[in-house]
Amino acid sequence: MKKIEAIFRPEKLDDVKTALAENGFFPLTVSDVRGRGAQKGIQLQYRGKMMEVDLIPKIKIEMVIRDDDVPKAIGTIRAAARTGRYGDGRIFVIPVELSAMVRTGLFVSE
Amino acid sequence: MIPDSGNTAFILICTALVMLMTPGVGLFYGGLVRRKNLISMFALSFAALAIVSVQWILFGYSLAFGPDIGGLIGSLEYIGLRGVDFSGAGIPDLLFMAFQMMFAAVTLAIITSAVAERIKLSSFIIFGLLWTTLVYDPLAHWVWGGGWMAASGILDFAGGIVVHISAGWGALALALVIGKRAGFGQYSMEPHNIPLTLLGGALLWFGWFGFNAGSALAANGLAVNALIVTNTAAAAGTLAWMAASWINGKPSSIGMISGSIAGLGAITPAAGFIDPIGAVIIGAVSGLLCYYALLWRLNRSLDESLDAWAIHGVGGVWGTVALGIFAVSGIGGITGLIGGSSAQLALQAVGAVAAVAYAFAVTFMIAKAVDLTMGLRVTEEEEYVGLDISQHGESIYV
């Protein structure tokens, strides 16, 4: 089992959600986050003075999937979230040891 | 003439009521945009109030209400309020000037709908100054200041032509010049704070009593009639829009409040000439008309972002014409079509068409001129970050 954490542009949420559902990835958790990447945010020119906006609003989605599905999930998210410009985001894959369902107590470990 | 103390007291209060409509517009619009642009939207309305307040006392009032030149514009006789004093018929001239100032201010605030989330503040200040001088002041003069519309008998009780047609059709022209918001039609731009919009709408409804009842310029029966028909049309518009949107889905609160504004905009020109039953019809028809105008705009993928055109522009045209249909002679001395006279209807149609054409054409030219000289839009990155940070260096969340 792997956990996918994807951080991308807020305006792409609908596209990503739809694309994931179409590819069979339905369960997910969504958060509003703010952060900065390698570009150190966005610099705005103000009458010669530089103004930095270094925490930019993004969306983070988290989903736990089977190992074999990782490439497909990453491909799906990239295709839907990419604009080709700085600030498109990141996708992280994290190993998951266990997943227990609250209602049934069912354990899944792979 | 010695002004009457009761009338003076009433119009002083109405002036304050109409002033509150400008921040009301700011809240109404502020809730409809994305969170990164709320401060900007509110600030644009305040900027409109400030720009117009200064322009009005310097020369705007004189252009609108100064001695007539050729039916087109007022002279500069009252420049810097020269000769405008405490005397006057019914109320002091100075108070009339202040009351009218608030109308001019809210009109410029309404037009900010067209440039939401993408206007450069500096460009808006220049545009606003030109617009209130070249569009609002002449129109106010034509209808209320003794210009050609007034001379030919075209009526506008409280601003259907001067405020709603000018701002609504001006907004359409301005939206065409500035262009769509980045991402418009590609991803959703849902309103981020509906309660703020409802609050702004509530303040507008409240302020509108000063707007329409105050337009009687006296604390009399006509003012009472105006207040009642204003409330009636707002209520009918609310219910009509609610019903139309219910048939097509869910009756949203934004739809309801939009219907209120549609009813209010339409009743404005007619408030001193029609009875409450006429107001029910005018308000309900306006709610439906404006609702379908909004759908038409969306289908054409026009980004007149917050629907000043669909609500104020279309509602203002309907109300201006409806005056000629539903006028009852016992109220304002005018008989409309239902009373068997079509003369006023023809006049109102001429007034509406002329105002639409003038507001649209001149706004388009002013917007083009500002766009070519200083650029109306912020840069792509500034738009992406939002105008709160890029234009004001502020943000609503910490």
Q: Is A56 on the interface with B (CB under 8 A)?
A: yes
Q: What's the pLDDT score for residue B3?
A: 86
Q: What is the DSSP string of B93-155?
A: HHHHHHHHHHHHHHHHHHHGGGGTTTB-HHHHHHHHHHHIIIIIHHHHHHHHSS-HHHHHT--
Q: Is B190 on the interface with A (CB under 8 A)?
A: no
Produce one character per residue of B126-140: b if its CB has 16 or more CB atoms within 10 Å, e if not. bbbbbbbbbbbbbbb
Backbone torsions φ then ψ of A58, nearest 5 degrees: -140, 175
Percent of chain A with pLDDT over 70: 92
Residue B181 pLDDT > 70, yes or no?
yes
Q: Do the Cβ atoms of B183 and A51 come within 8 Å?
A: no
Residue B71 pLDDT > 70, yes or no?
yes
Residue B46 pLDDT > 80, yes or no?
yes
pTM over 0.85: yes
Q: Mean pLDDT of all residues in chain B?
A: 96
Q: Do the Cβ atoms of B381 and A51 come within 8 Å?
A: no
**Cβ-nearest to A44 among B186, B188, B382:** B382
Q: Is A96 on the interface with B (CB under 8 A)?
A: no
* Bridge partners of residue A6, in order along the sequence: A61, A91
**Cβ-nearest to B187 among A11, A44, A51:** A11
Residue B395 pLDDT > 90, yes or no?
no
Is residue B18 a contact partner of residue B103, using CB atoms and an 8 Å limit?
yes
Residue A46 pLDDT > 70, yes or no?
no
Q: Do the Cβ atoms of B385 and A14 come within 8 Å?
A: no
Cα(A33)–Cα(B31) distance, rounded to whole angstroms? 21
DSSP state of B164: I
Percent of chain B with pLDDT over 70: 99
Cα(B38)–Cα(B36) distance, rounded to whole angstroms? 6
pLDDT, one tens digit per residue, over B72-93 is 999 999 999 999 999 998 999 9
**Number of Cβ atoms within 10 Å of the Cβ of A60:** 17
Q: What's the pLDDT score for residue A56?
A: 87
Provide the shortest C-alpha distance from residue A8 to chain B (in Å): 14
Q: What's the pLDDT score for residue A49?
A: 65
Return the HEC string of A74-94.
Answer: HHHHHHHHCCCCCCCEEEEEE
Q: Do the Cβ atoms of A44 and B183 come within 8 Å?
A: no
Q: What's the pLDDT score for residue A40?
A: 73
Sorting pLDDT into bands at 50, 70 and 90, what band is A48? Answer: low
**Cβ-nearest to A44 among B36, B188, B385:** B385
| Chain B residue numbers touching A44 (CB-CB < 8 A) | 381-382, 385, 389-390
